Structure 1
Amino acid sequence: MKLIKLDAIDSTNDFLKGLLSNTTVENLTVVTAETQTKGKGQMGTVWESESGKNLIMSLLIKDLLGGINQIFYLNMMVALAVIEVLEKEKIPDLSIKWPNDIMSYHKKIGGILIENSIKSDGTIFSVVGLGLNVNQTNFDLLPNASSLALVCNRFFDKEQLLSLIFESIQNRIAVFNPLELQNSYTKALFKRGIPMPFSDSKQQKFMGIIQGVAASGMLQILLEDDSIAEFNIKEVQLLY
């Protein structure tokens, strides 16, 4: 693993993308930071993290995806790799809140942001950003957030977690299996199979049951009329 450690940066994803635009970067290069001033979440949201307490990393993955139709498989792969490591660390009641929030019980302990660049020859470069709440214990302004330390009442070694997550991702790349990824991801979905309230893009509320995720990444929800509707990111919100 080629590791670039930074003290403070606006965004590890932006730093890694900047490297890519200026030089050749080795596949599976990792960038970490103790402090991130402009951490990003899905669709322009902000990822907030207390300095020095959490795992903030970005990873370059290239020469894996066969086309844009496989992009969401990378989301599945990374989320499942994180879940696999946290299960071994005895983190309880883990799940993935679609599309890529890592949950323990009903609170968010991590988030993934993947930014893809398609080159002129069709190859895809992916910058995988992961923020994992590790040793932070104060979430006064984030009532739906938690951390490994809060859930388990002990502190964790961030460097060890980084190594384990990198190894898990690397192992999954070596045996890239889209069908297995989709099945495992579906089984790990937060609130799957449970009647839940949702809100659509027009703020209309409805009841539905999460069934799974299409290969494209769209969330499949069973509606009250027994039809299955598919929703893109930000087209639907789970109310819980």
Structure 2
Amino acid sequence: MNNELIIEIDNLTVDYPTDNEPVRALDRVDLKICQHDFICVLGPSGCGKSTLLNVIAGFTQPSDGTFLMHGQPVAGPDRQRGVVFQSASLYPWMSVRKNVEFGPKIKGLPATEITRIASHYLEQVHLLEVADQPPFQLSGGMKQRVALARALANEPAILLLDEPFGALDALTRIHMQQLVRKIWQQDQNTIFMITHDVDEALSLGTRLLVMSKCPGTIIQEFSVDFCDRAIDEHTGRVHVDADYLALREEILDLIDV
């Protein structure tokens, strides 16, 4: 496995200005992300999980500390970091295919290459049959699959997922988890995912980060391999054993402190 260091965060602090004293969202966060990591971030509401993702995406600038990608400071968003939010945020005036083609088109790729890339990722998310439809005709789960394909079409160095399945029904959520796991395994992607669901994190992640209450910092990291174990074909989830249950309880205790 390629363990190339992609992102290095050191002593990262984020303060949000207010009318009175600044509010500290993140406090001295240290984190390294390597090729093919699947990192799931857990923590109590308001602990700064999304702030950390927004820093990595380039949407939020640190107040202090360093954030390097491939050894270089990050100035803002770019296509090396693809983002999928809880809401699909698709372009409603474009077809499904045109949404997925948008990034490659902006890159100035030849038309044949744009078509090939869009078809490849639409096939990966099982949406080739609706490629010419507008997004408003799709279900919530299908819209999220389009958003995932659109992010992947830029072939980013890291894919950032901000609770992308939180608004989906339970069965669709499981199907989306299966899909993301399969794409990650096949394409050797690097994924950084925010979730409130401990079972989702245990089923998908290779590294689980638990954050403290605000101001958020990483208080515990777990290396896990449940996603490499046998997957139940009917439920799409990992087989639950004593190790899984014990770790689940340990994480829930940390979050509830």
Larger gyration radius, structure 1 or structure 2: 2
Report the TM-score when normalising by structure 1. 0.28
Higher relative contact order (CA 8 A, sep 6+): 2
The structure in which a higher percent of residues are strand is 1
